[in-house]
Amino acid sequence: MKRKTGGPMSAGLGAVFMRGNRFRHNFLTALLLAPATAWLVVFLVLPFIAIAVFSVGERAPEGGYQAAFTLAQYANLPARATAFWNTMMLAPVGALACLLVAYPVAYYLALKAPQRWRLILLALVVIPFWTSLLMRTYAWMYILGGRGIPALLAFIGIEDVRLINTPGAVLLGIVYGYLPLMILPIYVSLERLDRRLLEASADLGATPLSTFLGVTLKLSLPGVMTGFSLVMILLLGEYLIPTLLGGGKVFFIGNALVDLFLQSRNWPFGSAIAITLVAVSVVVLIAANRISTRVSGTRRVDLI
Partner 1 sequence: MSKSYRDGLPISPEKFVDQLMRLKRGSIGRRDFLGLTGLGIATAVMAREIGIMPTPAFAAENLGDRMSIATWPNYHDPQTFENFKKDTGVAVEVNVFGSNEEMLAKLQAGASGWSLFVPTNYTISTYKKLGIIDPLDMAKLPNFDGSQEDPRFTSEGTIDGTTYAVPKNWGTTGFAVNTKKLTKPMTSWKEFWDTAMTEGDGRTMVHDYQLTTIGNALKYYGYSFNSLKQDELAKAEELLLKVKPHLFAVSSDYQPGMRAGDAWMTMCWTNDGAQLHRDIPEIAYVLGKEGGEIWTDFYAIPKDAPNKPAGYALLNYLMNPEVAVKEHLANGAPSTDARVNKLLPKEVLDNPILYPAADLLTPLEFGAAATLTDPGRAELMARFKSA
Does 243 sit near partner 1 (CB under 8 A)? Answer: yes
Binding region for partner 1 (CB under 8 A) out of 32-40, 66-74, 171-179, 250-258: 250-258
Residues 129-188 that bind partner 1 (CB under 8 A): 132-134, 138, 141-142, 145-147, 150, 162, 164-165
Query: Rounded to whole angstroms, how far apart are CA atoms 300 and 16?
Result: 40
Q: Which is nearer to partner 1, 105 or 133 (CB)?
A: 133
Q: How far is the CB of 127 from partner 1 (least distance, A)?
A: 15
User: Count residues contacting partner 1 (CB under 8 A)?
Assistant: 41
3-class SS letters over 175-237: HHHHHHHHHHHHHHHHHCCCHHHHHHHHHCCCCHHHHHHHHHHHHHHHHHHHHHHHHHHHHHC
- At CA 16, angle to CA 13 and CA 17, rounded to 5? 85
Does 92 sit near partner 1 (CB under 8 A)? Answer: no
- At CA 67, angle to CA 64 and CA 70, rounded to 5? 105
Q: How far is the CB of 56 from partner 1 (least distance, A)?
A: 18
| Residue 173 CB neighbours (<10 A) | 24
140 φ/ψ angles, rounded to the nearest 5 degrees:
-65, -35
Does 273 sit near partner 1 (CB under 8 A)? Answer: no
| Residue 250 CB neighbours (<10 A) | 17
Does 251 sit near partner 1 (CB under 8 A)? Answer: yes
Residues 60-89 that bind partner 1 (CB under 8 A): 61-64, 79-80, 82-83, 86
**Contact residues for partner 1 (CB under 8 A)?**
59, 61-64, 79-80, 82-83, 86, 132-134, 138, 141-142, 145-147, 150, 162, 164-165, 239-240, 243-244, 247-249, 251, 255-256, 258-259, 261-266
